[in-house]
Amino acid sequence: MHSHIDSTYLCQLTAAQIQEILVLNGVLIQQYQPQLHRWLTLAQLPDIGQLTLSLEPDKAAEIDRRLHEREIVEFTAMTTVMNINICDRYIFVPLLEQPDVANHERIELWGRICLIGNLNSVWTAQDLSWVQALGQQLLTAMNILSRFTATNRQHQVKSSPLSDLAELIERIAELESKCQQKDEFINHISHDLRAPLMNIKMAMRMLKTSLDADPQIAELLSGHRAEKYLEILEQECDREVDLINNILELQRLELAIEPVEIEPVEIGIWLSTTIEPFRHRARSDRQRLSTAVSESISTLEVDRFGLTKILTELLNNACKYTQVDGQIIVAIDGDPHSEWLTIVVKNQTEIAAKHLPHIFEQFYRIPGSDRSRQGGSGLGLALVQKLVRQLNGQIQVASTGGWTEFAVKLPVSGRVRSLNVS
């Protein structure tokens, strides 16, 4: 990494990015020096020594005039590189220095970006617009860097090592205090939101029960829009409760409020109980849900809560994003001589490669993937990843051939024990 970031370094990075994206023969970034009426080269790619443009004075003056008028200038000319004459195609993109708005100064030409290609090179209007926007971002970054450097120099003159250390300690303490306040606020507001939501959920259930208990009202509501509205209210309430619960769980994992409790878990019974609601859901959505458990697995020493939450969130995602008649598979495997348990949840859907690096980010949701329009918070997979890490495990995702597979590898406290049947 560059040890000292300066304006030249920023220009070199910008030139490299332009050359890589547009596949050019070369790139120049130059600053205009009005007092000397010349151009100072700040970045040049490729770096093959001094590159000179063989321009007639009238032609050079015309280019400068058009650049000052904010025009993008294109021309063909001869260049001399290492005493070799080459005919190239050039485009000059002006870089405009933004004035102080309060002083209403005229926008001045700061410099130019020169794109160097061959006679067959083609640049679209979008390409040139992108180059100009990137150049303006470069100027903004250089201005910020300049102000930061000036402020830093003043600070160095006024301060001493001891005062700097004291200020740093004070800032760290302030940040820690703000982080603690943030955590407490999220924790309190989540609890405050969950209480009324649970009351609303209970009130809706009681309302539905009382309506169903009256045959006349039940008959009137059957097929009526009011029945659909009540169903929507229940669904949305459940979504909000799940969101609050996930936020609280993430907060608990961040703060490590509760220790992990290891206990014996009979995998067969646990899996049957955990997966039962999803069997009903899959049947309702016309999906096929199947399980496969290694014969060598029976009782494990694991964290029951974490294990259940991980499988529940993965199955919830699988059911949500699997098409009608699609298949969902849960496979649990473990070697009797190993201290690892592997849980695989795979379903018939495919995630584009560009989304996979972001799949565990909080609130990240793949656009257009929720075919059932069930909604969600984008916290489920982030929660799964944190739970897996808390249990010192690993999680991986792969998506290819029309399938998406989540593989969770968890350590067990003690070896996998087979159940001895007499």
SS3 140: helix
d(CA 276, CA 299): 20
Fold of the domain spanning 263-411: Heat Shock Protein 90 (3.30.565)
Structure letter (DSSP) for residue 214: S
The pLDDT of residue 21 is: 80
Structure letter (DSSP) for residue 272: H
Residues 6+ apart with CB under 8 A from 348: 322, 323, 326, 327, 328, 402, 403
The pLDDT of residue 61 is: 86
Give the count of alpha carbons within 13 A of 5, CB side only.
11
> What are the beta bridge partners of residue 411?
340
The pLDDT of residue 3 is: 40
Range(s) within the chain of domains with CATH label 3.30.565.10: 263-411
d(CA 109, CA 200): 63
The pLDDT of residue 368 is: 56
Closest C-alpha to 297, from 333, 325, 259, 263: 333
The pLDDT of residue 399 is: 92
Q: Does domain 7-158 have CATH number 3.30.450.40?
A: yes
The pLDDT of residue 152 is: 61
The CATH architecture that domain 164-255 belongs to is: Orthogonal Bundle (1.10)
Asked if 253 and 386 touch (Cβ cutoff 8 Å), the reply is: yes
Range(s) within the chain of domains with CATH label 1.10.287: 164-255
Question: 């993937």: which residue's tokens?
Answer: 369
Return the number of other C-beta atoms located less than 10 Å from residue 403's C-beta: 16
Range(s) within the chain of domains with CATH label 3.30.450.40: 7-158
Q: What is the pLDDT along the chain (422 residues), one digit of tens a residue?
A: 344 457 788 888 888 888 878 878 888 899 988 888 888 888 888 764 445 556 677 888 888 889 988 899 888 766 555 555 556 788 999 998 865 544 445 668 899 999 888 777 777 887 888 888 888 888 888 887 777 766 665 555 555 555 666 677 777 777 777 666 666 655 666 566 667 777 777 777 787 787 777 777 777 777 777 777 777 777 777 777 777 776 667 666 665 555 667 888 888 889 989 999 899 889 888 999 999 888 777 777 878 888 898 999 899 889 988 989 999 999 998 765 667 888 999 999 888 888 888 888 877 777 655 555 555 567 788 888 888 888 888 999 999 999 999 999 988 754 433 333 22
**pTM of the prediction?**
0.47
